[in-house]
């Protein structure tokens, strides 16, 4: 299995657009990593927006509808909570109120978020390109969102 995924991201500004490399953590969340890899292979994330970006908190993507309500046609995943900390650069699965409702949406912490620890499934960590995530347009929802142009396995 791949040990990283690479997102080519368009922040809407050519000066800040670029590549984000995320180290996968199957040791923490094997089923979630398997899902992310499967979706990347299928091209699911290509063209999807970062629809919710909150300054000093996180950037959320992985919803093809861009509304925060969409996902893949695959079944939701059972939570794989660990004691991994939600610190800056951590990639974790977004979900509804039900802990076992993660599907395709994810978020990347842009600051330390200890209040999320033990409540969301951590599946990776940005090892390169956090400046690209930091440059994404902000909003809930984002008026003119940044997008994953292409996702690929590293």
Q: Domain holding 138: CATH number?
A: 2.40.100.10
pLDDT band (50, 70, 90) for residue 143: very high
Q: In what order do the strands lie in the sheet with 52-54?
A: 52-54, 58-61, 106-109, 90-93, 122-128, 18-24, 4-10, 147-153
Give pLDDT tens digits for 121-141. 999 999 999 999 999 999 999
- pLDDT score of 2: 86
- What's the domain range around 49? 4-153
pLDDT of 8 reads 99
Mean pLDDT within 61-90:
98
C-alpha angle with apex 113: 95 to 142, nearest 5 degrees?
A: 60
pLDDT at 77: 98
Q: What confidence tier does 151 reach under pLDDT thresholds 50, 70, 90?
A: very high
Per-residue pLDDT tens over the stretch 5-62: 999 999 999 999 999 999 999 999 999 999 999 999 999 999 999 999 999 999 999 9
- C-alpha to C-alpha distance for 122 and 80, rounded to whole angstroms: 8
Residue 1 has pLDDT above 80, yes or no: no
Per DSSP, 88 falls in state: T
Number of compact structural domains in the chain: 1
pLDDT tens, position by position, 113-122 = 999 999 999 9
Residue 95: pLDDT over 80: yes
């Amino acid at each position: 299995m791949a040990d990283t995924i690479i997102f080519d991201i368009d922040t809407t500004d050519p000066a800040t657009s670029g590549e984000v490399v995320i180290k996968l953590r199957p040791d923490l969340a094997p089923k979630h990593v398997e899902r992310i890899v499967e979706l990347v292979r299928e091209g699911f994330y290509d063209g999807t927006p970062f629809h919710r970006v909150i300054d000093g908190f996180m950037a959320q993507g992985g919803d093809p509808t861009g509304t925060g309500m969409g996902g893949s046609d695959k079944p939701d995943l059972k939570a794989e909570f660990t004691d991994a900390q939600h610190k800056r650069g951590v990639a974790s699965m977004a979900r509804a109120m039900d802990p076992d409702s993660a599907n395709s949406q994810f978020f990347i912490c842009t600051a330390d978020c200890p209040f999320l620890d033990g409540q969301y499934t951590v599946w990776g960590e940005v090892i390169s390109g956090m400046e690209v995530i930091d440059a994404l347009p902000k909003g809930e929802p984002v008026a003119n969102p940044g997008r994953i142009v292409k996702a690929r396995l590293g």
